[in-house]
Structure formats: structure tokens, C-alpha cells
A and B are shown apart, each in its own frame.
Chain A
Amino acid sequence: MTERQLPPVTELGMASLALIVIGGIYLSAHLPRHVPLGPAIGLLAASVLLLVGNMLALSRVRDFAWDRFFEVGKWSLLAYTAIAGMIEYAFLRDHIRGGALVVLTLSLVVFAVHVPMLVGFTVARYAGADDRVAA
């Protein structure tokens, strides 16, 4: 099966998720001590950059099944927003405050946006020619 040349959305998405996972492990590995936030902020910033880069790269693709992408992406976004909301609630119940809460909340935002994007992209890239429209 021959595949079209598309930006490396999946690879960049996985790298972005890996960075926030490393940040989360770094923060939770220090519990309950005070943890320097510098490394976690750096990892989060790199993850956000990859997310933005991924969005830009994907938005430039022509002849792509955007209807499929948004159809699947919006339901995934709903599911992952609910999941991220529950995790956020657990953070608040566990009395996480201040900088650590901000870093973890923003990490959840990256997670809740990037995973649906990967699901939508994977579905749309294998859509038939009829589903594709020029950007």
C-alpha cells in the first residue's frame, strides 16, 4: 500500500506526549517534598511547541479529509476533555497548589488537544479520495 507524503504528525504528537509524561513523572517522583519546577516547565514548553508546530504543519496540508478529521476529532476531544477534567479534579482533591498545579493543568490541556488530533489525523489520512478536499 502506497502512502501519501504527510507531515510527521503522529511522531511529533508522540514526542509531545512523551515530554509531558516525563514532566509528570518528574513531579510525582518528588512527592511530598518541594520540587524545583524549572525542568517541568522546560518539558511543558517543549511539548507545547511541538503541539503548535504540529497544528501548523497539518493546517498546511492540501487535499486532506478535513471533514473526517473534525468529525472524529470533535468526539475524541469531548472524551479527552472529560478525562482531563477528572484528572484535574483529582489534583485539586489531592491539594496540589501553585506552580505545580499550573504545570500539571497545562500538561492536561496539551494531552486533551493532542490525542484527539492524533486520532482525527490517523482516520483522515486513510480516508478515501472522495473524502478529501483541498485546503
Chain B
Amino acid sequence: MVDTAISAPAVHPEPAHPAPLERPDFEIVPRRGLVLVGVAAVLLIVAIASNKLWPLTFFHVAGGAAWTIIDLFLGLVLGPIIGRMSIPARVEFTTRLMPKMVLIMPTVVTATLAAGWQLGLKTGNVFSSSPNHGWVVASYIVVGVMAVLALGLLEPANIAVLIELKKPRPRPEVIEHLMKRFIYCAGVLGLMQVATLVIMTKLASS
């Protein structure tokens, strides 16, 4: 790993030589991880094409569990901890976490939603004649709110942080500002995930 210097936040308006902080070098999109994403995508396509109950349930439940746990843990546990870390520690943590999130979140969200839709078609839950239809529509609304937040705020902030960190001298105030947006957003998504848990456990038990 190659380390790069990063400027500390300015205490004085125009510091002549800002103290450099260390940050590890990284790839914005980890290329090796793309192989795992590709494998997951192929397995998901096979599960949907086979239209069998077990693989579809597996992808929907495993993907949904990962999505829910990551959102809850990041928003409600890690977020407040990151907020209290020193800036160098926060930058190092961000540098190591965010590239992984670029791959993990789209993969688990795609697996959950694609397998879930196919599962709903197979079980009939997505049809308006189903007794569970109201709960399914409620889940569409929750997912819709989460999608707008994730696509409009979370992902742009994630990419912008990574690009800022890639610069020869990233500005900590920009990273802090964008990370705040990321963490608040993750907190709201974590709360939305509680609603998802209520809906999905209700569907599974009826």
C-alpha cells in the first residue's frame, strides 16, 4: 500500500505548511471485488431463471438481511462513533470503508429486490387479489423512499468522498461535510429498515 499525504484542517486562515496526515492508497471501485459481484449477479440470474422457491427465498432473505443489518449498524451504531473520531482516524476509516460500500450495497439491494419481486410473482403476493397485498404495497413505499434517498443523496456523497480522497491533497472539511450527509442518510435508512422488518416478518408469518 502506498500512503499519500493529506492536509490537516486549517486552524489559521492560510497555513503556510499544513501538517500532512497519512491516508492509505485505494481504488474507488475495488477491481478484485468486481469478480465477487459478478459471481453474485450470475447466481441471482440463475435463481430467477430457475424460478424455484428455495434459491429465490435464499437471495431475498440473505440479501435483505445484509441490507437491513448494514443500514441499521452503519446508521445507528457506526455513524455516531465515526462522528466522534479524530479527523485523521475518520479519514482512514472512510478510505477503507467507502470503496467496499460501493460494491456491497448495490449488490445486496439488487439481489433483495430482484429475487423479492420474482418471489412475489411466484407466491402471488404482488397481485392485488392477494390478502397480503396491502403489506406488499407498503413495502414498495418504504423501498421507494429508501431508493430516492440512496440514489439522490447517499451514492453521490459516497462517490464524491472517494474522489476527494483520491486527490493529492484532499480537503478534510469537504470529506467531513459529505460524510455527515452520508451518516445522517444512513441513519434515516436504518429507521426505514425497522419498517421493512415489521412488514417482512408480517408477510412471512401470514
User: Which of B140, B152, B171, B174 is in CB contact (< 8 Å) with A118?
Assistant: B152
Shortest Cβ distance from A50 into chain B, in angstroms?
Answer: 12
Answer yes or no: A49 CB below 8 A from chain B CBs: no
The residue in chain B whose Cβ has the minimal distance to the Cβ of A32 is B127
Number of contact residues on A: which range applies? Answer: 20 to 34
Enumerate chain B residues within 8 angstroms of A29, measured Cβ to Cβ.
128, 133, 137, 140
Residues of A within 8 A of B152 (CB): 10, 13-14, 17, 115, 118
Binds A, one of B66-74, B157-165, B189-197: B157-165
B163 / chain A contacts, CB cutoff of 8 Å = 68, 72, 123
Q: Using an 8 Å CB-CB cutoff, how does the interface string of B99-141 with A read, 1 for contact, 0 for none? A: 0000000000000001001000100001110000100010011
Q: Tally B residues with Cβ within 8 Å of A.
A: 31
B148 interfacial contact with A, CB 8 Å: yes
Complex CA distance for A128 and B174, rounded to whole angstroms: 10
Which single residue of chain B is at the shortest CB-CB distance from A10?
A: B152
In the complex, the chain A residue whose C-beta lies closest to that of B159 is A119
How many A-B contacts at CB < 8 Å in the complex?
76
A residues 73-115 near B (Cβ < 8 Å) are 76, 90, 94, 111, 115
User: A29-B140, A31-B128 are known contacts. Are A14 and B148 too (CB-CB below 8 A)?
Assistant: yes
A25 touches B156 (CB 8 A): no
Would you call A4 an interface residue if the criterion is a C-beta within 8 Å of the partner chain's C-beta atoms? no
CB distance from B44 to the nearest CB of A (A): 11
Residues of B within 8 A of A (CB): 114, 117, 121, 126-128, 133, 137, 140-141, 144, 147-149, 151-153, 155-157, 159-160, 163-164, 167, 171, 173-174, 176-178
Taking Cβ atoms with an 8 Å cutoff, the residues of A that contact B are: 1, 10, 13-14, 17-18, 21-22, 24-25, 28-33, 68, 72, 76, 90, 94, 111, 115, 118-119, 121-123, 126, 128
